[in-house]
Homo-oligomer: A and B are copies of this chain.
Amino acid sequence: MLKIYRVNSRTKQVTLEERKVEECILGGRAFASDVILKEVNPLCDPLGSENKIVFATSMLAGSGAPTALRLSVGTKSPLTNGIKESNSGGTVAAGLAKHNIRAIIVEDKPEDDNWHYIKIDKDGNVTLENGNEFKEMNTYEFVLLMNAKYGEGVAFAGIGNAGARMYKSASLQVTDNTTGLPARAAARGGVGAVLGSKHIKGIVIEKTKGVKFPFPDKKAHAEAKKAFMDVIMNSPVCGMSMTGTIANIDPHALNGTLPNRNFSGEPISGAQVDKIGVKKFLSDIKENGGKTGLACQPGCVIRCSNIYNGKDGNMLTASLEYETIGLCGSNIDIYDLEFIAKMDHLCDDIGVDTIELGATIGVLMEAGKIPWGDKEAVLKAIEEMYNDTEFGKIVGNGTKDAGEFYNVKRVPVVRGQGMPAYDPRAVKGMGVTYATNPMGADHTSGATAFPGINHHSIEGQLEISASQQVASAVFDSTMCMFGWYAFGFEEETLQVVVNLINAMYGLEWSIEDMMNLGKETLAKEYMFNDLAGFKPEDYKLPKYFYEENSKATGTVFDLDDEVAKAYVGSYLSSMSTTN
C-alpha cells in the first residue's frame, strides 16, 4: 500500500489514506495538479483557507532508479493566481519514499497564530509538532536545530521567514543530499507563501532505513531497473557532473540568451562572461575547496550538483546554478561569482526564489531604486527583506508587484512570474514555453535550448515547445529532468522508462500511454487556470519583447498571439470533450 496523508492546519488532524499500488499511479506533478484541480476552488485566495498545498513524490520514487527521488509541490500560486507545480531534488522525496508515502496534502488555514511542523519519525509516524519557537527562524538555523533534536541526517522541506511572511517569491527549501543543508528549492510560484499562510514550517523527516516499495512483481522490477541503469550510466548526461548547469553560461551568453540588465537585450562581453562563466567557476571551486560532481538526491549518477565555497573556504551554496548566475548576476549587472553565491545563500536561508529575486532586483534597478551592479545596495536590499521593512517586502513580493509599484515600463514577467535566464528573443522556443505553458514564465516546463536548433527563428518553435511541454509534464511526474534527458529522445529508451513504471505499478502502459499522462496533466492545469479566470489571450509575453529588438540578436519575439491562443485553446477543448 502507498500512503497519502492529509494534514488539516486548522483542526490539526492528520489523516491517513492507504491506496493499493495499482490505484496510486499518479505521482509528482500529475498527482499534485490532479488534486489541485479536483479539490481547490480556482477562484480562491491563494493564501486563504480554501487553497491546499500538495507534496508528492515522483512515480518512480521507491524504484531505486537514479534521479527518481524528486519532490513535487503543487498549489494555487500567489504569484500567478494560477496552478503551480514546482519541484526539487534533495532528500525529502527519498525520506517520504522510505515510508511509501506518496503525498502529504496540507489543507485549510488556522485562525490563531500557532505554528507547527510536520514530523515523520523513524517508524513513519506522521505527527504535527508545535513549532511556535521556530516561527521566525530561517532555514539554515532550523535545520541545524532539527539535526540536534532528532539526530543528524534530518530531511527537511519548508520555509524561512519569507514564507512565514507570505512574500510572494517565497520558496520551499529542501535539504541537499551531500551537505544536509537546505540549499535546494522547489523555488517558484511563491509556494512557500502558501505553506506560511497555513502556519506550517515544513516537513521534518528523521533519518531511517525505511521499508521497500510494495512491488507487485519483484523480478520484473529488478529487470526493468537494470535496463534503466544501463541506459542512464551510458548516457552523455552523466557528463554533467563536472560543471552542472553552469556549462550553459558561456554559450548562452554568446547567443544573447543570458539576460543582461533587466532583459535589456544588450550583448554581454567576453570579459564579462569570463567573470561568471564555467572557467571562473571551476577555478573558484579549485581554489576555495569546493566540489563538483555531487548528487543532490541519494543514488543519483548524473551528479550535476556542486558545493561552492567563498574565499574563506566556507560553503556558500550547494549548488550554484545557471539560473541564479543569470538572474542574480548578469541580469543585475553583477559579474562576481562569489557575490552571486552569497546572494544564493541568503535566498536559501530566508527562503526565496533566486530567479524571482534577481528579476525583481533587475526591475528595481530599472526603476532607479538600486544602482546597476551595486553590490552593496543589493546586499542592503536583501537585508531589508530580512528585516521585513516596506522596501524589503517589495523585494520579496516579486517582479510583477515591484514593477507595478514603481511604474516600471519593462517588467519581465509572464502571468505574474519573473522570467528565468533565457531572453525569449534569443531562444524563441523558451519564449513560446513562457507564453503558452500553464505555469507562467518557467524554464523547466518546456525547455528548448538544445543544440542544433536556430533559436533566433520562430520557425518550428511552437512544435518543439509543445512536445517539450508534454515531456516536461511526464518527467515532472516521474523523475528528474536531467535523468529524463537520458531517455526522452528515442523510442527504445522511452520504452525503458515505461517498463519501469509498468513493473512498479503492475501496468501494461505503452509509450503513448505515458505521454498521454503528460497531456492530461497539462489539460488539467489549463482547465484550472481557465476556471481561475485566465483567458487564452492571456498566454503571451510582455509587449516589449514583441516590439523592441534584442541588440544581442537583432530579433524580436514573434509568436503570433492567435497561434498561441489556438494552442492553449486546443488543450481546453480536449478537456471539455473528455470530461
Contact = CB atoms under 8 A, between A and B. Distances in A.
A204 to B, nearest CB: 25
A485 interface: no
Nearest to A166: B407
Nearest to A534: B533
Contacts of A393: 405-406
Given A390-B391, A533-B533, A47 B407 contact: yes
A405 B401 CA distance: 10
A566 to B, nearest CB: 18
Contacts of A165: 407
A538 B532 CA distance: 11
Interface in A358-395: 389-391, 393-394
Interface string A530-558: 00010101100000000000000000000
Contacts of A538: 533
A386 B277 CA distance: 45
Contacts of A43: 537
A397 interface: yes
Nearest to A390: B390
Nearest to A49: B543
Interface string A9-42: 0000000000000000000000000000000000
Q: Is the interface of A mostly helix, strand, loop or mixed?
A: loop
A538 B538 CA distance: 18
Contacts of A47: 407
Number of copies: 2
Nearest to A409: B48
Interface string A291-326: 000000000000000000000000000000000000
Interface in A386-425: 389-391, 393-394, 397, 405-407
Interface in A129-169: 165-166
Nearest to A197: B407
A391 B197 CA distance: 23
Contacts of A405: 393, 397
Interface string A508-544: 0000000000000000000000000101011000000
A389 B406 CA distance: 11
A394 B197 CA distance: 22
Contacts of A394: 390
Contacts of A390: 389-391, 394
Which of A165, A390, A538 gathers most chain B CB within 10 Å? Answer: A390
A538 B537 CA distance: 19
Nearest to A78: B404
Contacts of A397: 405
Interface string A241-283: 0000000000000000000000000000000000000000000
A392 to B, nearest CB: 9
A2 to B, nearest CB: 36
A565 B395 CA distance: 38
A43 B391 CA distance: 29
A170 to B, nearest CB: 12
Contact of A533 (B389, B407, B535): B535
A96 to B, nearest CB: 30
15 contacts: A43-B537, A47-B407, A165-B407, A166-B407, A197-B407, A389-B390, A390-B390, A390-B391, A390-B394, A393-B405, A393-B406, A397-B405, A533-B533, A533-B535, A533-B538
The 10 nearest A-B residue pairs measured at CB: A390-B390, A390-B391, A166-B407, A393-B405, A533-B533, A533-B535, A390-B394, A47-B407, A43-B537, A397-B405
Given A390-B390, A533-B538, 13 more contacts: A43-B537, A47-B407, A165-B407, A166-B407, A197-B407, A389-B390, A390-B391, A390-B394, A393-B405, A393-B406, A397-B405, A533-B533, A533-B535
